[in-house]
Homo-oligomer: A and B are copies of this chain.
Amino acid sequence: MALLGIDIGGTKLAAAVFTEGGEIISREVILLGDLRGKDPGSLVTKTAGKPVTGAVEKPAADNVGKLIADTVREFLSREQPDGSRIRSIGISVPGIYRIKEGTVWAPNIPGWDNYPLLQEVQAVCAGLPVTIDSDRACYILGEMWKGNARGCSNAIFLSVGTGIGAGILADGRILRGANDIAGAIGWLALSKPFRDEYVSCGCFEHHASGEGIAKIAREYLAAGPEYAGTLRNKPAGEITSHDVFDAYSKGDPVAARVLQQCVEYWGMAVANLISLFNPEKIIMGGGVFGPAASLIPEITKEAARWAQPISSRLVSIEGSALGGDAGVYGAGWMAREKLGREA
């Protein structure tokens, strides 16, 4: 038996075929930028491919749904190397999945406000079960299946990239909330007084997301004209979080100040997750962890100052074991789980 996991990101689609035990049989990556002006079907290769690399462009997003359907159709038509056939499909989406409606809201795919993805995929998969959920849910499910949260029923994936979100596994189930938007941790209130900058993205995300790191660095540069370090090597407006991490690794004082502040915010947010959820594990992932993974011991120390002390002693705070593959593993796990429930 084989399972198909698909992870849709803002810039690429990753697909992998899994065994029931979670081994990857084959995988493929398609850059959404390649969609511009092409028939999505032409992008799906006829053999199991290696990950595709190349320049990342904004997706021509009206075709994303068709690309997903074509990918599913193509994978279903293949016989797997081990002779098995795909029996169930899981999909991770970069936004919110409305489970009752089967629709997706994805801020980085234009037009996906209420996109009927479930229906579109079901139309091409001949009655096979299809399960969809948000990327943050898939991240923690992936880590639970094959990463650092194996064996956990209570674990949280704190995803810090351009934005910030949390996938929360509570008593063995994904926390959805009343409208499928639980885990919006970027909005965490961590620092009085309220500032206008929080209106569009939330306090925590303003200070400690990838975007936030770049933004705060720019603020510091504007406020300190005497500074002449490496962050002056490009126009302030073009500085990214990668530049800040790069400067930090070279001992830059502005970068150190920005990241020290981030450690404080990450620590407070982790502490709040510990006190509220009493989890076994908190997994730090997303693009920023990544380079910030070396700061996890400091974040753990900061969290321990604030959190409920018993929960704090019992939790383990770790980096992601799966990195960029957490979503596709989570999608694979959902495919397997759905089959288990229906069997």
A residues at B contact (CB < 8 Å): 152-154, 166, 168, 170-171, 173, 175-194, 198, 202-203, 264, 268-269, 271-272, 275-280, 305-308, 310-311, 314
Cα distance A272–B275 in the bound complex, in angstroms: 12
Contacts of A183 in B (CB 8 A): 276
- From the candidates B166, B194, B279, name the one contacting A178 in the complex (CB within 8 A): B279
Which 7 A/B pairs are nearest by Cβ-Cβ distance? A177-B278, A189-B268, A184-B308, A187-B275, A189-B306, A187-B308, A154-B178
Chain B residues whose CB sits within 8 angstroms of the CB of A170 once the complex forms: 170, 175, 177, 182
Are A179 and B310 interface neighbours, CB within 8 A?
Answer: yes
**A182 — nearest CB in chain B belongs to which residue?**
B278
B189 touches A276 (CB 8 A): no
Contact of A280 among B153, B178, B268, B276 (CB under 8 A): B178
CB contacts (< 8 Å) of A307 on chain B: these are 187, 189
Residue of A154, A170, A185, A271 with highest tally of chain B CB at under 10 A = A170
Contact A178 B278 (CB under 8 A): yes
Residues of B within 8 A of A180 (CB): 278
Q: Looking across the interface, which residue of chain B has its beta carbon closest to that of A195?
A: B305
A177, A192, A203, A305: residue with the most chain B Cβ atoms closer than 10 Å: A177
- Is the Cβ of A181 less than 8 Å from the Cβ of B268? no
For residue A315, which residue of chain B has the nearest CB? B178
How close is A77's CB to chain B, nearest CB, in angstroms? 37
A181 to B194, CA, bound (A): 30
- In the complex, the chain B residue whose C-beta lies closest to that of A174 is B171
**Are B187's CB and A314's CB within 8 A?**
no
Residues of B within 8 A of A182 (CB): 170, 276-278
B residues near A277, Cβ cutoff 8 Å: 175, 177, 182
Whether A308 pairs with B278 at a CB distance below 8 angstroms is no
Q: With A154-B178, A179-B310 in contact, do A185 and B275 touch (Cβ < 8 Å)?
A: yes
| A-B pairs with beta carbons under 8 Å apart, 14 shown | A152-B178, A153-B178, A177-B311, A178-B280, A179-B310, A182-B278, A185-B276, A187-B271, A187-B307, A189-B306, A194-B305, A194-B306, A198-B306, A272-B272
Report the nearest B residue to A302, measured CB to CB: B194
Closest to A309 in B: B187
Please give 20 more A-B residue pairs, beta carbons under 8 A apart, in addition to A183-B276, A192-B268: A166-B276, A170-B175, A170-B177, A171-B175, A176-B278, A177-B311, A178-B280, A179-B278, A179-B311, A182-B276, A182-B277, A184-B275, A184-B276, A189-B190, A189-B268, A189-B269, A189-B271, A194-B306, A198-B306, A272-B272
